[in-house]
Amino acid sequence: MNAIPKTVAAPSQFYFAAPPFALACPRCRGILEVLVSRARCAECHTEYDCVNGIWRLLLPEREKYFAPFREQYQRTRAQERWGADNENYYRALPRVPRDDPHRAMWRIREKNFRRVIAWIGAATSLRVLDVGAGNGWLANQLAARGHRVAAVDLRDDARDGLGARRNYFFAFECYQAEFERLPFAPAQFDLVIFNASLHYAASLAETLQEASRILAPIGKILLVDSPFYSHSITQSPNRPNYFLTFDQLNRTARELNLNIEIIFADAEWHKRARRKIIARKLGREPAHFPIYTLQSPPVP
């Protein structure tokens, strides 16, 4: 496992304003030197800005590449009426009012959130990265519990993306960036969480490899609320997300030399009958939502 790189001597007009996480250039992986709300790569000299509290670390060519996905995703989420106009809604997540259009979904999310919190247990001040953080509700909940949290997402909109940060009491760092180019120096997070987001990864292997690059030596990747299936399913090319299979995850973990542990299997007896009914309705296997950790094996 790589150690955190030493900071390089900063040019005179730049200084390190003690950012909570060491940033790396998404273009060349050089260390970013931070001056208040601007960062500059010590290697390739690309500059990045922090605007409205969000570090803009998506390269222009990647912004262009993701534009159709962002538009489609945003349109669907608006049609499905995600988000709200008041800050109390965001602060209470994953709990939502009775009349929320997505109450059933949020109740499942809340159960898994409780499982994650129980699993974290008494650990304090963990350095956590919430990848594909959306409106940042999990980052907020973890910051409220005293952890040092960073949130990454492609989208910065105020209702359903990182821009919703303005609603929260508890501070966490926000980075507009992508799964496959996480803008962080190696080996600094205790936990990298994909919360309902891993199934958007265009490449599972590259995404998990990138996440493991920034894990501290005994850090873990935590996978929550992504749908998993026993067999691969053909899907419409218009779908912005992908079907993950257990085999695919096991194979990828083996290739990357990551150990998998199941925290919650989502296979309880009382769900089996219900699954059969749903399978008949859908004409395919309904998804499982297990909770996994992945971790590099201990150094002997």
> Which one, 161 or 186, has the nearer CB to ligand SAM?
161
Residue in 153, 156, 173, 210 binding ligand SAM, rule: CB under 6 A: 153
- Helix, strand and coil content of the chain, in percent to the nearest 5, comes to 30, 25, 45
Binding mask 56-75 for ligand SAM (x = CB under 6 A): -----------------x--
Cross-strand bridge partners of residue 245? 229
Residue in 23, 25, 39, 133 binding ligand SAM, rule: CB under 6 A: 133
Nearest to 182 by CA among 27, 67, 295: 27
Residue in 200, 228, 243, 292 binding ligand SAM, rule: CB under 6 A: 200
Burial 238-274 (b: 16+ CB within 10 A, else e): eeebbbbeeebbeebbeebebebeebbeeeeeeeeee
Q: Does 179 bind ligand SAM (CB under 6 A)?
A: yes
Q: Does 183 bind ligand SAM (CB under 6 A)?
A: no
Region of residue 255 (phi > 0: left; psi between -120 and 50: alpha; otherwise: beta): alpha
Stretch binding ligand SAM (CB under 6 A), from 195-203, 253-261, 273-281, 291-299: 195-203
**Strand pairing report for 47-51 and 54-56:** antiparallel
Q: Does 154 bind ligand SAM (CB under 6 A)?
A: yes
Q: Does 178 bind ligand SAM (CB under 6 A)?
A: yes
Residue nearest to ligand SAM (CB): 134
Q: Does 195 bind ligand SAM (CB under 6 A)?
A: yes
Beta carbon of residue 280, minimum distance to ligand SAM (angstroms, whole number) = 26
For residues 56 and 25, give the distance between their C-alpha atoms in angstroms, rounded to a whole number: 11
Cβ atoms of residues 138 and 153 within 8 Å: no
Q: CA angle, corner 149, sides to 143 and 151, nearest 5?
A: 115
Chain centroid to CA 289: how far?
16
> Which one, 73 or 295, has the nearer CB to ligand SAM?
73
Tokens matching residue 281: 């309705």
Beta carbon of residue 150, minimum distance to ligand SAM (angstroms, whole number) = 13
Beta carbon of residue 152, minimum distance to ligand SAM (angstroms, whole number) = 6
Q: CA angle, corner 233, sides to 152 and 103, nearest 5?
A: 55
Beta carbon of residue 244, minimum distance to ligand SAM (angstroms, whole number) = 13
Q: Does 289 bind ligand SAM (CB under 6 A)?
A: no
Q: Does 112 bind ligand SAM (CB under 6 A)?
A: no
> Which one, 128 or 196, has the nearer CB to ligand SAM?
196
> Which one, 33 or 153, has the nearer CB to ligand SAM?
153
> Which one, 204 or 249, has the nearer CB to ligand SAM?
204
Q: Does 163 bind ligand SAM (CB under 6 A)?
A: no
Cβ atoms of residues 188 and 29 within 8 Å: no
Tokens matching residue 45: 């000299």
> Which one, 31 or 133, has the nearer CB to ligand SAM?
133
Beta carbon of residue 109, minimum distance to ligand SAM (angstroms, whole number) = 7
For residues 264 and 293, give the distance between their C-alpha atoms in angstroms, rounded to a whole number: 10
Q: Contact residues for ligand SAM (CB under 6 A)? A: 73, 132-134, 138, 152-155, 178-179, 195-197, 200
